[in-house]
Structure 1
Amino acid sequence: MTIKIKYIIAAGMLSTALLCNISCEKFIETDFPSNQIPTQLVFEDEQTADAALAGLYSSLWTNSMYSGGVEGMGALLGTYTDDLSCVYTSSSNGALDLFNNQQIPTNTAVTSFWTFAYQQIYAANSIIEGVRNSKTLSDAVKDRITGEALFVRSILYMQLYQIFGEIPYADTTDYVVNSQLGRMPKNELLLKIETDLSEAINLLPTTYKNAERIYPNKYAGYMVLAKMKMLLKKWNEAEILCSTIMQNSTYVYQTDITKVFQKSGTHIIWQLKPKNTNDATKEASLYTFSGAPTSFVLRPELISLFAATDLRRQNYIATVPFGQQTNYRSAKYKNLAVNNPTEYSIIYRLDEVYLMQAEILTELDRSSEAIPLINRSRQRAGLPTLSNTLSANDVKIQMREEKRREFFTEHGIRFFDLKRWGLLDQLVMVKPNWKSFHSNWPLPQKELLLNPKLNPQNTGY
């Protein structure tokens, strides 16, 4: 029997094939086992293997939790907590229900979020299997591509766990196995993610494959592993990882606030490139409006945290008058349409590592060492530096406030911080529908119907 697909087409299919009730016969006509996609056909040479990897990165930018658009963590978790207000008018809009903390298991935004994530996990698994089974790729190429795919799979699992709680862990493309997976217990799941990240770091190169830093390297892996260690409260290990990044001369703190979100910065650890050359970032397209707001506006509680002299108030936030009302929008990314030669979507930047390290030091009872790290972003914002005489509790408060001012609307950082700090229930002060069980989203009802082993549903739903 003959193969019906070309190699490059097959590579593209890898980014859309996860758990989507599409039989393999729709992709190919071949004598391969009916429960496997013959991904080894895609990996005969480095070019086709890299094409599959490029498809995975493209899907992260287009439709994923890391997308800067309405389907991403920046928007959905920003409106779920207290960074953003959602102003969509459709009563059936999934993001609006998240803003009102009234999500149910059939919420369309939640379902899409889950589906896109597992599609990309499947694509990563396809790449890993294809590379490992290839008889023509060099060991160096195998290591690099496997490391990148493991890295992507790990960050998806880490965030899915923090949003949904216990989830299924798939490391195969066998759709029969995947369709019957139950939710992996917390400790086992976290160990799997931690192990995968460690393996990815071992395989990833130290230097960037591309000067634009659009492919993760070993230090991007260190940063994610440090986040994982913080989640596990392994503070000493997290400190070593953050120190390793901060001491590397590849990364230089950006002192010019007008250049923080420009793609050429040496403070960038990893970023996603728009699909087409000079396309606007999804963040710019989503948050920019004039007159009446159309999607999201910054919440007044956030605006009130900025002193009038804070340069972030001038550079990260735009004031938009409309009639008798004044709205505020995120203006971190500024270039629109096809006139964007300077901006990519930044996923990880050195600034976050500094404030991660500041948090770690407060947890290790070394608050005085955290103060200079907090002062880096304050100095860039034109604010006075914190005194070395602050109490440990005041340092912790200042670190938390500084992190909110610096990272609003960026990939759900606010939600993950509040959850790690045990402070999510404080949202009830500004969000009256908030309930304690909202610390986890509901599992999509569609998934529970397809696979009863995912039961029971999360508490409260």
Structure 2
Amino acid sequence: MKPRYTTLLGLIITLFLFSCTDDVEENVYDKYQADEFYSTPEGADVALAAVYANVVGNWGGLGYAGADNGWYDLNCMTADEQVIPHRNTGDWQLDFARLYKHEWLPSDLIVNNTWNWLYRAIFSANLAVEQLENAEAAQTKISEAKVLRAFFYYLLMDDYGNVPFYTENNITVEELPQASRQEVYDFVVAELEANVPNLSDTKGGEYYGRFNTWAGYALLAKIYLNAGVYTGTPQWQKCLDAIESMEAGGFSLHPGAANESSPNGYQYYELFGDQLPEDETILAMFATANIVSRNIYTIRSLSGPHAMELFGVSGWNGAIVPEDFYNGYDNADIRKAQFLVGEQPGGVTYVPEVGSLDNPGADPFAGVRNIKFYPATPLDGGGASNDFPIFRYADFMLMKAECLVRLNDAPAAKPLVDAIKQRAGLDALSNNPTLEDIYRERGFELNWEGHRRQDMIRFGTFLEPNDFRGQSDEYRKLFPIPTSAMDANPNLQQNPGY
């Protein structure tokens, strides 16, 4: 069970519950004028909580991760690490198979949901910035709101390229101008460089799940890591500099040792459980099922009788790990413990081979299953209470190694890669790491955490054929602007190819 909610998390929960109730009247802040209210620490946290409430995942494609049909599925199932096949029993929509086969359309639900979520979040962030600036609130609070807004614009730029851009809400949808990816990149970088130094350097406590200085530098490093994709100009040294600024927060790898009381038998899997350990976690998404957010990923993967036998709730028999991805893991790798094949409790036998994703679809028990997010209580058939790691230190160690190799300093990268491998129970590299070594290690370490599509694009593998499709066209590196957005705003130009 999670400890007592901190102030901001409690506010997020309150706002989340209110957002699900149609007949709740607007709050009236009694004796306070708005500016006076938002200038107080409590009022500033209310403004920020309204923005953070957009991060947590829920039905209808809302949130960063946790539920389905949103950003997480769009960015994971277009890569090589997971997919939900249509079953030959008639189960599961075809949208997920289309993502994996790179056949998505501008009218698709998940493409539209992700777009709508991000613009809802940006509207909320713009409002918070306005409220806090008008109230002359503490600079650390204003900067936190601006960093959150930069985070959402980063996700938009990464997925859609040239996007509508606005920082004030006094404009109608049909008037929104479309900014180039370069312009959005420049804005996001400038906002982060100006505001991250103003953030709190507190770790944990009330800053669990919030952007502090270290999470801000982590975000800046992510953007610099992919600058070559966004602008055509790589920024490997700037990425290194941002990572080194983040490292001043004092992060380390969480132990990976065998432990019967830990999920999946290893301390490593505590990184994906209830409240995430602070040694490695830089930024987490908070979840408590049926209160705020949820984490569906194991329950969605396991079949009904198998999940019932393990957890007392029925699984959805959905997401699987493609056979080639699963086969890449060494049998000695403790990270392979997250995958289930063969005979299981509940009279279920999973087979790795999947013959079809859509026509006629996969057999009911075809596909490797994943229990990386071993369900934390409270849980039910709608999800569990695992928090989600948005940023964790192992990711940034491998990012640092990648930058060093790209800057021709592979010897300095070797200890970083070796530390990740050795925690997983594997031998150190026999030679200095190559980019291929780092790419493979990122897949092994970070699968199902929302990074793979971005990595595949950066390493040039995203368009390569697989067992279910041929070579993809170049334009598939971006998602289309949804049809509904194009219809609502005549200023928008569709991405090429769509």
The interval holding the TM-score normalised by the smaller chain is: 0.7 to 0.9
Task: Name which of 327, 331, 345 aligns with 2:371.
Answer: 331
Alignment CA distance shift 1:363-1:312 (3 Å): same
Change (3 A) 1:66 1:79: same
Distance, in Å, in 1 between the alignment partners of 2:178 and 2:404 is: 34
Q: Quick one: distance in 2 between partners of 1:365 and 1:433? A: 31
Assess if the C-alpha contact under 8 Å between 1:212 and 1:264 holds in 2.
Answer: no
From 295, 298, 306, the equivalent of 1:281 is: 295
**1:209 to partner: Cα distance:** 6.4
Q: Which moved more, 1:99-108 or 1:421-430?
A: 421-430
- The structure-2 alpha-carbon separation of the partners of 1:274 and 1:211, relative to structure 1 and needing over 3 Å to count, comes to same
Residues 1:208 and 1:343: Cα distance change in structure 2 (over 3 Å): same
The 3-state SS of whatever aligns with 2:164 is: coil
In structure 2, the partner of 1:186 is: 181
DSSP-derived class of the 1:270 partner: strand
Deviation at 1:318, TM superposition (A): 2.9
1:208 has 2:215 as partner: no
How many equivalent pairs are there? 421
Q: Distance in 1 between matches of 2:39 and 2:415?
A: 51
Instruction: Write the letter of the residue equivalent to 2:155.
Output: Q
SS of 1:269's equivalent?
strand
TM-score w.r.t. length of structure 2: 0.77
> Which residue of the partner structure matches residue 459 of structure 1?
496
Deviation larger for 292-301 or 155-164: 292-301
In 2: Cα distance, 1:333 partner to 1:221 partner: 25
Cα distance between partner residues in 2 of 1:255 and 1:324: 30
Question: Which aligned pairs between 1:4-403 and structure 2 lie closer than 5 A?
Answer: 12=15, 40=35, 43=38, 45-63=40-58, 64=62, 66-88=64-86, 89=90, 93-134=94-135, 137=137, 139=138, 143-176=139-172, 178-208=173-203, 210=205, 213-232=208-227, 233-249=234-250, 251-256=251-256, 257-262=268-273, 263-275=276-288, 281-290=295-304, 291=306, 294-314=317-337, 316-319=338-341, 321=343, 322-323=348-349, 325-326=351-352, 327-338=367-378, 343-387=386-430, 389-390=431-432, 395-403=434-442
Amino acid in structure 1 at the alignment position of 2:372: K
Preserved CA contact (<8 Å) 2:161 2:180: no
Q: SS at the partner of 2:83?
A: strand
Structure 1 residue 332: Cα displacement: 1.7
* CA spacing shift, 1:279–1:67, aligned 2, 3 Å: closer
Q: 1:288 and 1:164 mapped to 2: Cα distance?
A: 32
Identical counterparts, % of pairs: 20
Distance 2:480 2:368 in 1: 31
* Kept in 2: contact 1:117–1:156 (CA 8 A): yes
CA distance in 2, matches of 1:173, 1:279: 26
What are the ranges of 5 or more consecutive residues in structure 2 without an aligned counterpart? 1-10, 20-24, 228-233, 257-267, 307-314, 353-366
Q: Which has the higher helix share?
A: 1
Structure 1 residues 39, 454: closer, same or farther in 2, change over 3 A? Answer: farther
- Residue ranges of structure 1 left out of the alignment (5+ in a row): 1-7, 17-25, 30-37
C-alpha spacing 1:236/1:90, structure 2 compared with 1 (3 Å): same
- Specify the alignment match of 2:7 in structure 1: none
Which digits, 9 at most, give the CA deviation of each residue in 1:157-209, with x for residues without a partner?
A: 11211211111121111133x54123212322211111111123022111236
- The offset of 1:338, in angstroms, is 0.9
Inter-partner Cα distance in structure 2 for 1:206 and 1:245 = 10
- 8 Å contact 1:68–1:75 — kept in the other structure? no
Please tell me the residue identity of whatever aligns with 2:44: A
C-alpha RMSD of the superposition: 3.1
Counterpart of 1:423? 461
Task: State the Cα distance separating 1:344 from its structure 2 match.
Answer: 1.6
* TM-score normalised over the length of structure 1: 0.82
Q: Which residue of 1 aligns with 2:443?
A: 404
In 2, Cα distance between equivalents of 1:320 and 1:125: 50
Letter in structure 1 aligned against 2:472:
W
What is the rounded CA distance, in whole Å, between the counterparts of 1:154 and 1:285 in structure 2? 32
